[in-house]
Structure 1
Amino acid sequence: MTTTMDWTGASKTAGDFVSHWRDDEPGGCVVGFDLSGIRFAHAGGVESLSTLAPFSSRTVARYASLTKHVFCAMVLAHSDVMGLDDPLGEHLPELQSPLRDVTVGQALDMSGGLPDVRECLSLLGLSVYSETKAQPLLDYIARQTRLNFPAGTEVSYSNTGYRLVEAALARKGLRFDDFVQEIAKQVRLPLFAPDVWNDPVVGLAPGYWKSDEGWQLSAAGLHLSASGSLAGSAEALVAWLQCLLKGEHGFTGVLDQLSAPRPLADGRMSEYGLGLRWTHLGKRRFVGHGGSHPGYKSYFLLDPQSGTGFVVLSNREDTNGFKIALESMAALTGLPLPRPAAFLPDGLYVTETGPWWLEIKGSTCSFLDAEDTLYDEGDGWVSSRSASSPVRLRLDGETLAGQVGHAPRRFLPVVPGRDVPPTLDGRWRSEESAEFEIAKGALIMGIGPLRRRMPLTALGNGRYLFTLQDGPWTKRVCLHMLGDDHVELVTSRARMIEYRRDRF
């Protein structure tokens, strides 16, 4: 199939996005490339609000989850040491069932049900700024005895699998940064894989998020792990992606292995591979991934057929890298963009039982507070078109029916105006010694000046929503009654944090 490449149109589309980043704001760049080299590079904004130095394609920023496919390439390179079908417990014997029974492949392809550590910490009351180290985090995971869902039955994003597989390889003397530095030598541009946020990185641009008071410097305390530790420039990322597309430097066929669809337990195939996900435009599909750290956003999208691609790298929280890359690819190929669907009735919906809720606002769907745009698929169906958070729904009377994360779901409209019963009042404690209080229709968490009162919204049948503000992130959490004195706190990435009422 021959496709005419409109680089002029793609460059204009990318440039229009970049033009909105002013020279007194954080910024970013968009780079279009093919196998012969960079076709254009547009940049806007600054890499530092202290120096006001302009952002460029050589500015170093955090790649965040773009790291994942690079780490998976390392796993494939050491298949003699660790296989994708190996259970995690074979390499990390301290893990308990069912976590130990999740395979390496499931841990990397988002079907393992492993709870995301960062989300777990939020539900225990620890801020995004709270500093954590690698071994205590592994010790914490080793104490867990619940998955978000049975391994292989759903697809839902989590970083924990990457942390665990990296730790297992490190015990065998295989360090991720050593692998990264070999790549850096091959592409002849610097790449970095720091362990923690505060590790010095040469030339690293600070990240920013916008509060009500203006732009704020970003920070994070979580040990980074191979789920999102990489940093480098847009040009370095382009050089690596060209290496994958060409199969150079020992990476022949690796892109095909990373992007291959992965099977679920019932034989259905997921379009989230090993750190890469497929995206559809018209009748064609493209492969890429996004990244998000506090104050940083990134995305790349590749057309393996033509050897073309786009890289988006920015140091501002509000960048929609997926939109920029997708519209640039549409302009390049002449393929139609999907149409957002806004015909589902707005409102909150909840399943008859369990903590599963979603909200519709126009063409935006939030499932357990994971937000996606819905697109019109015809015959009344809408879809997120997302391999990492798949949603497919249609209206059936007043009910929204279909699949979320490949799992069948039926959502009923929430009846408004329900009261929060006083029987919830009391002090609640987890086995990790975290605690909160419920009083007068609100959940109260934290101590001293960090004590926060978060009103509860009743969804019916023992489900309640509250909003937790954590630095640049706003999270809605479902409190789900498991018994009179037993609750769980649930977000999309962590669905297993339990508390019991303190009766003493």
Structure 2
Amino acid sequence: MVDWTKGRAEAQAIAEPWTRQGGPGGAIVLFDSHGVRESASGGFAVIEHRLPFTPDTQNRLASISKHICAAVLLREGVPLDETLGSFIPELPEALGAVPLCRALDMTGALPDMMEALWQQGTPFTASLSAAEVFTAACRLPGLNAEPGTEMAYSNTGWRLAQVILERRTGKSAAQLIEDLMTPAAVPIRFVSDESEVVPGLATGYWHDGQGWRRGFYGFNFSASGGTAGSAAGLARWAAGLMAGREPYAGLLDRLAAPRQFSDGSESLYRLGLVMTKLGDTPIIGHGGSLTGYRNHMLLAPEQGVGVVLLTNREEDALWPALRVLAALTGESLPGEPENLPAGLYAAEEGPFWAEFTGGAISFMGGYEKLVSDGEGGLRSLPAYLDIRLRTEADGALAGKIGGLAHRLLPVPAETRLDERLVGRWRDERLGIEIAIHADGATSWPWAGTIGRETRLMPLPGGRALADLGHGPWRHRPCLWLQPDGSLRLAGHRSRILHFSRIDQESRS
């Protein structure tokens, strides 16, 4: 039985501290298939002007936009089984061979453009247009892996989907999304970048440990995350999807239809939506994150209810949204794992590593909270990445992450930097150089000729982690030596850099 009173009380308990703290805030809206039923909000939409955040405050929806883009693709009849190259012939051969549907369900192994550019020294605050990002995509030297083998989050397929839509229809993304929203009079719009004026838009903030700072993201937003709207507006859109009202009849089922890996196993990631369960209740949703904005939308279609949580705070949004949905539906939140691992782990070979801290996992940079699987193991209740692990007798953690089997071992505290990593390295295809010193200090490309320094954290087997922070975000790519003496670099979203040695420092 749906309990709107308990749901509202939980939402108020989350929102009230935002007001008490006098900082940025957010809005939580509870809805059913008929529309908004309850709401709570707190904090400021714009701290500088003391403007309150309300359910009608405009916010950047970020990657919640993905299912909206997918809805446009389905509405326009774009054949999702066709390859990217059949729509965009100028793409490199490897990218062009990926089916559009795999590009959208995150199994296409497409390098994420932000992470790929970040690894090459381009700050995410750099103002890059859609044309400039597309040009960079057309220069990508390859894929991260074999398509269909792993779910690894990437915005690139969605960026390319926007190109496909605009070429096929002759309309802009802004017009296509307006056409989609007009029948239900939903005030959700497409916004191209930071410089576009959005009336009533909340300012995004992140906390540096001393105070709140404005967030900034320079890249063109694209269909990866370019919509803006209010919590109430997004709830109305989601209510219409659940109700199947015309012209959206059957649309949610198509967006949430099962997707498979190449081995036939099922992926939880669908077309811009993630399918999972809260207790016995199937739920589907998606989050969104841009610098200073964190959001989540969750639907429980069998019960005909949902929750939208939008914030202008750089804080987790999934778990608060789950708390409200659990109170609303009467389900219990999953319990803490019996034996939480802690510290750094790595696979015996390859770039795969994980760090466990605070009841959560960072797998190659992909963050998920961990809960008990009810059978002595660990699992995610995924924002994006499906994780299921069990502890083995030797202390290893084994299971599947993003559909791919992994076995992770604790990294010994005495691990030292492999001396074979020391030297100067260059990726000739992309013109990127790094220099690794014997003490682990490493010169990294950054902002043209400025460069920056990072210190490597050694892993066994000729591997090491860099640590590249920028604003509230932290990027920790893995460098690992190849049998032929070359050096590869990988994060969860981008694994394309491949270096050859160009000079060697003295190791004396």
TM-score normalised by the chain length of structure 2? 0.94
SS of the equivalent of 1:291 reads strand
Q: Deviations over 1:304-325 (max 9, x none)?
A: 123211110111112x221122
CA distance in 2, matches of 1:306, 1:351: 41
Matched residue, 1:443: 442
CA distance in 1, matches of 2:381, 2:52: 35
User: Deviation of residue 498 (structure 1)?
Assistant: 2.2
SS of the equivalent of 1:502 reads strand
SS of the equivalent of 2:174 reads helix
- Runs of 4 or more, structure 1, over 3 Å off, are 446-451
Matched residue, 2:180: 183
Matched residue, 2:85: 89
Residues 296 and 179 from structure 1, CA distance in 2 versus in 1: closer, same or farther, beyond 3 angstroms? same
SS of the equivalent of 1:20 reads helix
Listed as ranges, the gaps of 5+ residues in structure 2 are none
SS of the equivalent of 1:237 reads helix
| Alignment check: 8 A CA contact 1:33 1:238 kept | yes
Residues 113 and 448 from structure 1, CA distance in 2 versus in 1: closer, same or farther, beyond 3 angstroms? closer
Matched residue, 1:472: 472
1:73 to 71, 74, 77: 71
| Alignment check: 8 A CA contact 1:208 1:296 kept | yes
| Alignment check: 8 A CA contact 1:74 1:176 kept | no
| Alignment check: 8 A CA contact 1:30 1:312 kept | yes
2:337 to 328, 337, 341: 341
2:62 to 36, 53, 64: 64
For 1:24-173, list aligned pairs within 5 A: 24-79=22-77, 82-172=78-168, 173=170
| Alignment check: 8 A CA contact 2:337 2:376 kept | no
Range that drifts further, 336-345 or 98-107: 336-345
Residues 291 and 265 from structure 1, CA distance in 2 versus in 1: closer, same or farther, beyond 3 angstroms? same
SS of the equivalent of 1:113 reads coil
Q: Deviations over 1:357-377 (max 9, x none)?
A: 112225212211212122211
CA distance in 2, matches of 1:313, 1:94: 38
| Alignment check: 8 A CA contact 1:368 1:492 kept | yes
CA distance in 2, matches of 1:395, 1:449: 46
Range that drifts further, 6-15 or 141-150: 141-150
For 1:21-420, list aligned pairs within 5 A: 21-22=18-19, 24-79=22-77, 82-172=78-168, 173-318=170-315, 320-341=316-337, 343-386=339-382, 388-397=384-393, 398-420=395-417
SS of the equivalent of 1:198 reads coil
CA distance in 2, matches of 1:92, 1:326: 39
| Alignment check: 8 A CA contact 1:421 1:441 kept | no
| Alignment check: 8 A CA contact 1:442 1:455 kept | yes
User: Deviation of residue 471 (structure 1)?
Assistant: 1.6
CA distance in 1, matches of 2:15, 2:341: 34
CA distance in 2, matches of 1:374, 1:486: 36
Range that drifts further, 168-177 or 87-96: 168-177
Q: Does 1:5 align with 2:2?
A: yes
Matched residue type, 2:266:
M
How many residues are treated as equivalent by the alignment? 498
SS of the equivalent of 1:374 reads strand
Residues 143 and 447 from structure 1, CA distance in 2 versus in 1: closer, same or farther, beyond 3 angstroms? closer
| Alignment check: 8 A CA contact 2:281 2:300 kept | no
Matched residue, 1:19: 16
User: Deviation of residue 496 (structure 1)?
Assistant: 1.8
Matched residue type, 2:441:
A
Residues 451 and 142 from structure 1, CA distance in 2 versus in 1: closer, same or farther, beyond 3 angstroms? closer
SS of the equivalent of 2:93 reads coil
| Alignment check: 8 A CA contact 1:13 1:328 kept | yes
| Alignment check: 8 A CA contact 2:103 2:158 kept | yes
Matched residue, 2:502: 502
Residues 438 and 342 from structure 1, CA distance in 2 versus in 1: closer, same or farther, beyond 3 angstroms? farther
User: Deviation of residue 87 (structure 1)?
Assistant: 0.8
| Alignment check: 8 A CA contact 1:234 1:311 kept | yes
TM-score normalised by the chain length of structure 1? 0.94
SS of the equivalent of 2:71 reads helix
SS of the equivalent of 1:412 reads strand
Q: Deviations over 1:10-54 (max 9, x none)?
A: 111111010110362111010111133322111100110121011
SS of the equivalent of 1:50 reads helix
RMSD over equivalenced CA pairs, Å: 1.9
Matched residue type, 1:349:
Y
Matched residue, 1:487: 487
Residues 110 and 62 from structure 1, CA distance in 2 versus in 1: closer, same or farther, beyond 3 angstroms? same
CA distance in 2, matches of 1:322, 1:225: 23
SS of the equivalent of 1:18 reads helix
Range that drifts further, 337-346 or 405-414: 337-346
User: Deviation of residue 342 (structure 1)?
Assistant: 5.0
CA distance in 1, matches of 2:242, 2:447: 52
Range that drifts further, 85-94 or 492-501: 492-501
Residues 15 and 196 from structure 1, CA distance in 2 versus in 1: closer, same or farther, beyond 3 angstroms? same
Matched residue, 2:431: 433
User: Deviation of residue 450 (structure 1)?
Assistant: 5.2
| Alignment check: 8 A CA contact 1:277 1:287 kept | yes
Range that drifts further, 66-75 or 166-175: 166-175
CA distance in 2, matches of 1:256, 1:421: 51
User: Deviation of residue 174 (structure 1)?
Assistant: 3.9
Residues 182 and 385 from structure 1, CA distance in 2 versus in 1: closer, same or farther, beyond 3 angstroms? same
| Alignment check: 8 A CA contact 1:5 1:333 kept | yes
User: Deviation of residue 386 (structure 1)?
Assistant: 2.0
CA distance in 1, matches of 2:116, 2:11: 37
Percent identity of the aligned residues? Answer: 37
Q: Deviations over 1:379-419 (max 9, x none)?
A: 33211132731111111112211111111111122122222
| Alignment check: 8 A CA contact 1:344 1:395 kept | no
Listed as ranges, the gaps of 5+ residues in structure 1 are none
| Alignment check: 8 A CA contact 1:348 1:414 kept | yes
Matched residue type, 1:280:
K
